[in-house]
């Protein structure tokens, strides 16, 4: 077995504590991989599939495998009653979520927002699966404190992707929908009073304000036309998104958010 000294690589790519340093490389097998410079070396991730390249029980991810287990259980028993995740299985899913977290942070730095949406959505699916199927209450609730952060990253990336395509109305709708999802989460957990100190809501509100300053003057008229077409085609989810955005543009929506207060940003590993 041969070993390679990484010192030349580390010297050519110095660590900077003040920023996240990320790059893409082409592997010897022709596959694209993502590298992140960390204090004591380089973290390398697969660009597709599980970040560590593993295929749990032959599946693309551990979440996919557990979803297959659930579907198989339902098919054999005619119900999901009795299916549950052990504490060990929940811990394994949390470990997978941490892998996807590291990758979507790297992808955000690379401005590959569609991939951030993909990976953050994967983690939200893990949160949902644990909440719905964990046997222990502690495991059902364990990841919920991270949900606002992941919702924010998902909404922020959808917004920036739309903005890059100059789809201003869609961008504003995405950011407003993200705020509403975080508010709903806080309300469901009896934490509505924390909206004013939520760093995630603050970031999305600032993004929404910036979008409004940059939007063309005819955005409301464009949104009205798109809304009519969505209703005619019975695309009700899209119609609801456009209606929310239009009300916001016209200043008709009732404020749901408390005034901002200083708050320390939550650090997440999800």
Average pLDDT over residues 212-232: 70
State the pLDDT at residue 223. 66
Q: What is the mean pLDDT of the chain?
A: 88
Q: What is the pLDDT of residues 232-266, one digit of tens each?
A: 767 676 677 677 767 766 665 443 333 333 333 33
State the pLDDT at residue 170. 86
State the pLDDT at residue 254. 42
What backbone torsions phi and psi does residue 27 show, to the nearest 5 degrees?
Answer: -70, 165
Q: What is the pLDDT of residues 111-159, one digit of tens each?
A: 999 999 999 999 999 999 999 999 999 999 999 999 999 999 999 999 9
State the pLDDT at residue 266. 38
**Residue pointed to by tokens 């949390």:** 94
Q: What is the pLDDT of residues 9-57, one digit of tens each?
A: 999 999 999 999 999 999 999 999 999 999 999 999 999 999 999 999 9
36, β-bridge pairs: 22, 43
Q: What is the pLDDT of residues 181-207, one digit of tens each?
A: 999 999 999 998 988 899 999 999 999
State how far the Cα of 257 lies from the Cα of 270, in Å rounded to an integer: 25
Residue 216, token pair as written in the block: 């063309």
- Ramachandran region, residue 210 (left: φ > 0; alpha: ψ -120 to 50; beta: rest): alpha
| Contact between residue 194 and residue 186 where contact means Cβ atoms under 8 Å apart | yes
State the pLDDT at residue 250. 66
State how far the Cα of 252 lies from the Cα of 236, in Å rounded to an integer: 20
State how far the Cα of 46 lies from the Cα of 260, in Å rounded to an integer: 39
By percentage, how much of the chain surpasses pLDDT 90?
70
Residues 6+ apart with CB under 8 A from 81: none
State how far the Cα of 140 lies from the Cα of 87, in Å rounded to an integer: 10
State the pLDDT at residue 243. 77
State the pLDDT at residue 264. 33
């Amino acid at each position: 077995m041969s070993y390679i000294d990484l010192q030349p690589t580390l010297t050519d790519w110095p660590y900077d504590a003040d920023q996240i340093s990320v790059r893409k490389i082409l592997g010897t097998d022709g596959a694209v991989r993502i590298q992140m410079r960390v204090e004591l070396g380089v973290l390398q991730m697969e660009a597709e599939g599980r970040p560590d390249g593993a295929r749990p029980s032959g599946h693309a991810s551990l979440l996919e495998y557990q979803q297959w287990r659930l579907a198989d259980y339902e098919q054999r028993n005619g119900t999901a009653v009795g299916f549950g995740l052990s504490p060990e299985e929940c811990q394994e899913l949390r470990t997978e979520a941490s892998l996807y977290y590291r990758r979507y942070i790297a992808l955000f730095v690379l401005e590959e927002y569609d991939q951030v949406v993909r990976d953050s959505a994967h983690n939200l699916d893990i949160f949902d699966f644990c909440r719905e199927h964990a046997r222990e209450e502690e495991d059902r609730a364990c990841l919920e404190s991270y949900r606002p952060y992941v919702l924010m990253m998902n909404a922020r990336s959808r917004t920036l992707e739309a903005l890059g395509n100059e789809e201003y109305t869609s961008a504003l709708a995405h950011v407003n929908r993200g705020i509403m999802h975080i508010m709903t989460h806080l309300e469901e957990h009896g934490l509505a009073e924390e909206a004013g100190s939520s760093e995630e809501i603050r970031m999305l509100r600032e993004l929404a304000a910036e979008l409004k300053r940059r939007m063309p003057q005819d955005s409301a008229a464009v949104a009205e036309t798109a809304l009519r077409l969505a209703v005619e085609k019975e695309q009700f989810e899209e119609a609801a998104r456009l209606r929310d955005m239009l009300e916001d543009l016209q200043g008709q929506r009732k404020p749901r958010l408390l005034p901002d207060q200083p708050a320390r940003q939550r650090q997440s590993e999800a």
